[in-house]
Amino acid sequence: MEKKAVLSCIQPTGDMHLGNYFGAIKNWVDLQKDYRCMYGVVDYHAMTMPYDVDKLRLNTWELITNLMACGIETNNLFVQSLVPEHAELSWILNCYCSYGQLTRMTQFKDKSSQVGELGKDDFVSVGLLSYPVLQASDILIYRADYVPVGKDQEQHLELTRDIAQRFNNAVGKEFFVLPEALYTDTPKIRSTADPSRKMSKSAGEKHYISVFAESERIRKQIKSAVTDTGEVDKNQMSEGVHNLFELIKACGNLLAYDALLEDYNKGKLKYSDLKDVTASSVLELVKPFQERKLQINLNKKDIKDKVRSSSHEIRKVAQETLKEVKELVGLLNVKF
Ligand code: AMP
Ligand code: TRP
């Protein structure tokens, strides 16, 4: 039987953090055993917020190295802008998605209000608004069955299914597969500096812990994690403490997790112990990734060639789907 298809993507907007790893990448690595996996570095998406032109290309290659260091196979990787069919399908799907639906997306509301806060100007591009349609194209163009992502992407996945359904109804057949989101056991990692928000690059440096940061920095960030703020509700673990427990669990340090939880339930947990264990669990996890990255960096040119050729291979699937879509929607299908 043919393997089911898995597709997911990440933006080259800077460091890879523990939220990315535990919410998505860890699943990406594991799924490679049993599925036909395609993982994209989505540089078109990274243009939707103010960005530095010179850094974008560097970040794209850096992220590819990081993904490989975490265990993603090179031939499963592609760069979005090397598969221009995503953008072409996105235009077509824009016509199968309502404007109102896009303005109601949480990420659009958050990010469009952040644009002004970033101090540049308050220019909100149409690209930011139609971001989820490009995401739907990333997924639907490969007829992906499963999409491993963090919980913050749930609404985008629902929109993707809506678009697919609307398209299928319009063309009168089940053309696009309705994809399902796949979550890890820790689908939302919070910022250690402010546990009321998710760990994220866009909120600023103290709001994420990079997988490739120096040990000292990681330890320091975890040591200064916010645990309880103000009043403590004895019946409910605070978000900050819960987040540290989640990190320990995500690292697979289950014995320490159980012991600390027992202390917590007896009311004798010391937060300094919790933080020490969190830091050592995280450091143990990231060490092999950091070592592998050093090795990979020795063969940089090789990697660029490999990713260009894997993008070329993956593109063939996208071209086939786009050809069929054009046929279905009444566009000319001429090969020049
Ligand atoms: P991004 O860095 O926004 O391109 O996200 C890449 C992947 O990481 C997506 O699947 C996100 O859902 C996931 N992700 C990002 N931040 C978090 C977080 N704080 N917790 C869990 N997953 C996350
Ligand atoms: N929007 C996703 C994020 O910010 C990134 C993304 C773009 C994506 N295209 C995708 C994720 C397709 C899954 C599938 O994390």
Residue owning tokens 């060490």:
287
Whole-number Å distance, alpha carbon 173 to ligand 1 midpoint, is 33
Of all residues in the chain, what percent carry a pLDDT higher than 90? 89
For 30-47, what is the mean pLDDT? Answer: 98
What b/e sequence results for 230-240 when a residue is b if at least 16 CB atoms lie within 10 Å of its CB, and e otherwise?
A: eeeeeeebbbb
* Burial (CB count <10 Å: 0-12, 13-18, 19+), residue 325: buried
Confidence at residue 231, expressed as pLDDT on a 0 to 100 scale? 63
The band of 249, judged by pLDDT with boundaries at 50, 70 and 90, is very high
Mean pLDDT of the chain: 95
**Catalytic residue status for 301:** no
Architecture of domain 5-186+300-329: 3-Layer(aba) Sandwich (3.40)
**Hey, what amino acid is at 220?**
K
Query: Residue with the nearest Cα to atom 11 of ligand 2?
Result: 9
Q: Is the pLDDT of residue 119 over 60?
A: no
5-186+300-329 matches 201-294 in fold: no
Confidence at residue 222, expressed as pLDDT on a 0 to 100 scale? 98
For 231-246, what is the mean pLDDT? Answer: 87
Catalytic residue, from 4, 55, 201, 323: name it: 201
Confidence at residue 232, expressed as pLDDT on a 0 to 100 scale? 64
Minimum mean pLDDT among 105-119, 169-183, 310-324: which range?
A: 105-119
The two structure tokens encoding residue 24: 């998505």
The helix (run of H) or strand (run of E) holding residue 269 is none
Confidence at residue 120, expressed as pLDDT on a 0 to 100 scale? 60
Q: Is the pLDDT of residue 233 over 70?
A: no
- The three-state secondary structure class of 119 is coil
CATH number corresponding to 201-294: 1.10.240.10
Of all residues in the chain, what percent carry a pLDDT higher than 70? 97
Confidence at residue 125, expressed as pLDDT on a 0 to 100 scale? 94
* Burial (CB count <10 Å: 0-12, 13-18, 19+), residue 265: exposed
The band of 228, judged by pLDDT with boundaries at 50, 70 and 90, is confident
Q: Report the chain's terminal Cα–Cα distance, integer Å.
A: 36
Question: Is 23 a pocket residue for ligand 1 (Cβ < 6 Å)?
Answer: yes
* Burial (CB count <10 Å: 0-12, 13-18, 19+), residue 106: exposed
Kindly list the domain boundaries of the chain, sorted by start residue.
5-186+300-329, 201-294
Query: Residue with the nearest Cα to atom 8 of ligand 2?
Result: 9
Question: Is 94 a pocket residue for ligand 1 (Cβ < 6 Å)?
Answer: no
For 297-322, how does the pLDDT look when each residue is reduced to its tens digit (9 = 90+)? 988 889 999 999 999 999 999 999 99
- The three-state secondary structure class of 79 is strand
Confidence at residue 105, expressed as pLDDT on a 0 to 100 scale? 97
Q: Return the ligand 1 atom nearest residue 208 CA.
A: 19
